Structure 1
């Protein structure tokens, strides 16, 4: 079962004094590109969070965030009274104005460095246990999102593989006419030269030329690659890189067939196969 690398997961935890929102977003990427944003008092848990995300999400450009909104009446930020008073006194002496303007001075002082102080919140292990549980919920949600997103991709892949198989059958059906067409063209070219030819030598050269245009191996290998793609698609694990390698091999066989075709009806079928394969290539980049 394949997974998409595009996904979104969210979980909200309401604690007595705060609301904690956990969000995970992911897009496609060749490797795991993990960006973690969490409050400073949870920083010591960042490594374990990264390991959890790497194990579950494997690949993609992943943005993980923990947002904390304080809901209690109390706040950890207080006015540093002595510092603010000192700023006001200095401003009064500098500007030579009276106490009636202290309100304006206070507005200025409160913006100065260290006017406000924030008590550092220590990590509560019991609180983190609850948050960690909700991280697991967000991870499950994004994984399910990826599975659901990939379901439509899988249907599309199968349809396009069926189409390529159909065009491959056309190529096989046209092969006999193609060979006959090549023979006729070569014979006509010889006749137009109006020279005597050694029939045995001509047959030998014709066989050599037709061997170079033979596409039997390409047809067999392409058919095998198509079946292998479907087999890999049906495995329990999502392996976008492996599917990408199989597509490369398909493209190689289709291109070789096109270069050897020398027959307009066959080249049309090859172009159709290329078109279907390009559509798969674009979408496979988003498969985990």
Structure 2
């Protein structure tokens, strides 16, 4: 089925004094990629987090933002860079002796120096917190997938409308093919009349027309393009990631249409080739957003 690779999902869960909020943002990407912004104390969960998301999301770049609050899971700690503090203290003593300073920094002054003093909030991991994080992530992933499916439904309608336009162009081209033989025959007869007058062998005309038609025959390309259209309709109904398959199919259809354009001598066929190429480009742009 058609799913977009872009979307957003958010979920919040609470347990006792724990509260976890997770936001997922998905964008286009050739492969599957994850970016987690979470407390470093939960870094050990990364493998499980990826597995939880991958159950529903097969392709795209995921940005995952974690917000965790609760008195029981956080603590504030004072961190001191003693090496830097010792260097600072030695400098004060040396400067005091060298310049005979009287007003030396007090302990209060030293405690205000943020270069070697910092207060950090740390999250304490626990089995309850781990379960809560995974449950919240699963719910956020479901909501993200729901949005991707909704956008995918719109893409599906878009594809069907444009595929229908290509089908109509192929019908016009096929209806024009019989006129091509008549065009070549009349063109060749006119040239022969201009050169040798009315006295020429009609069999020569038929032979030359047959050769020209063989070089300009586009029936095979038209049939292959129609076959690709049927494949496209079949692929968009598959219950699996289909973006790469559709991208490859669009490339194949472009090749066939370009060949039709290079062989065509009819203005009517050329006009339809231009229309099909324009439509295929529109489809290709949207296929880049399909999972």
Which category describes the TM-score, using the shorter chain as reference length? 0.7 to 0.9
Deviation at 1:86, TM superposition (A): 6.6
Aligned to 2:164: 162
TM-score with structure 1 setting the length: 0.86
Asked if structure 2 preserves the Cα contact closer than 8 Å seen for 1:84 and 1:106, the reply is no
> Quick check: 1:111 aligned with 2:111?
no
Post-superposition Cα deviations, 1:132-177, rounded to whole Å, max 9, x if no partner, equal: 1001001101111110111111111000011111111111121222
Aligned to 1:191: 193
Structure 2: distance between partners of 1:47 and 1:73 = 22
Post-superposition Cα deviations, 1:216-273, rounded to whole Å, max 9, x if no partner, equal: 2122222222122112212333411112222222222211111111111111011111
Asked if structure 1 preserves the Cα contact closer than 8 Å seen for 2:27 and 2:61, the reply is yes
Alignment of 1:32-71 (within 5 A): 32-69=32-69
Q: 1:34 to 1:189 in 2, by over 3 A?
A: farther
**What SS does the aligned partner of 1:235 have?**
coil
Structure 2: distance between partners of 1:30 and 1:85 = 50
Asked if structure 1 preserves the Cα contact closer than 8 Å seen for 2:14 and 2:132, the reply is no
Alignment of 1:190-209 (within 5 A): 190-194=192-196, 197-209=200-212
Asked if structure 1 preserves the Cα contact closer than 8 Å seen for 2:52 and 2:137, the reply is no
Aligned to 1:211: 214
The RMSD of aligned alpha carbons is 2.9
Q: 1:42 to 1:203 in 2, by over 3 A?
A: same
Alignment of 1:22-33 (within 5 A): 22-33=22-33
Structure 1: distance between partners of 2:254 and 2:69 = 53
**What SS does the aligned partner of 1:76 have?**
strand
Structure 1: distance between partners of 2:84 and 2:15 = 33
Aligned to 1:228: 231
Match of 1:136 among 119, 132, 138: 138
Asked if structure 2 preserves the Cα contact closer than 8 Å seen for 1:8 and 1:23, the reply is yes
| Alignment: residue pair count | 285
Structure 1: distance between partners of 2:94 and 2:52 = 57
**What SS does the aligned partner of 1:56 have?**
coil
Aligned to 2:176: 174
Deviation at 1:73, TM superposition (A): 12
Query: Unaligned 5+ residue runs, structure 2?
Result: 97-101
Query: Unaligned 5+ residue runs, structure 1?
Result: none
